[in-house]
Structure 1
């Protein structure tokens, strides 16, 4: 009897944890900008950038296109707390910064995920994603 109750408790705990994760699903890039190496803010629209990110309980993966051609891709693990989202790419088509961990301040509201990345008190990236699949 205790064995079944223990298994039920574990199942309920896992289910509740997964359902409270606001990042689970498929996300489509709506807009964004980043600070290039010349300290100029570049709009994703000016690059014709489109991207899709898929997130499960432990991993993320994304592919980005610029004007219909491959731009970048990455995959790895992530964690989050109530204010920050941390991506740790394990494979990427770009050189990894910050020891391979990217920290974003975030806000999720009405199926829109706003995130911003800062470096030395300067915002270096800002993105808005829309959830398309839960």
Structure 2
């Protein structure tokens, strides 16, 4: 029985490690740069707002907190999905009004420790972010 328990633990650990390798998002991320199109249809660079953000992603969930010039700006948490070129978040809680039924789809590209993503409405890019893995 003791050996069976050890075998199950070893197999579980190995499976979790394999799943983490198949999922490039698992970890802690720091926002490097970004921009979005505001309600006036203006492109806003995150630097002008003093945005600082961190995102933590597990196998199935994400959470983020963003500050603007040292004050709370936004936060959200929920589940996510990904394919080879799309990452989508489905917040279950957020400090902002959710759009698009609460499903945010991004095209992404991984470049070493950097994650580049962009969100589109039709042919118009409405958000672009670069994140750096810190853990």
**Normalization by structure 1: what TM-score?**
0.90
Deviation at 1:10, TM superposition (A): 6.2
Deviation at 1:131, TM superposition (A): 0.4
Paired position in structure 2 for 1:89? 91
Question: What SS does the aligned partner of 2:134 have?
Answer: strand
Paired position in structure 2 for 1:54? 56
Residues matched between the structures, number: 133
Rate the CA distance shift 1:16–1:36 in 2: closer, same or farther, 3 A: same
Rate the CA distance shift 1:7–1:53 in 2: closer, same or farther, 3 A: closer
> 1:66-124: CA deviations, max 9, x gaps?
00000000000011010000100000000111111100000011200000000021000
Runs of 4+ deviating beyond 2 Å: 4-15
Question: What SS does the aligned partner of 1:15 have?
Answer: helix
Structure 1 CA distance, aligned partners of 2:22 and 2:130? 21
Structure 2 CA distance, aligned partners of 1:70 and 1:55? 20
Provide structure 2 residue ranges, at least 5 long, that are not aligned to the other structure.
Answer: 1-5
Rate the CA distance shift 1:39–1:13 in 2: closer, same or farther, 3 A: same
**Normalization by structure 2: what TM-score?**
0.89
CA RMSD of aligned residues (A): 2.0
Paired position in structure 2 for 1:17? 19
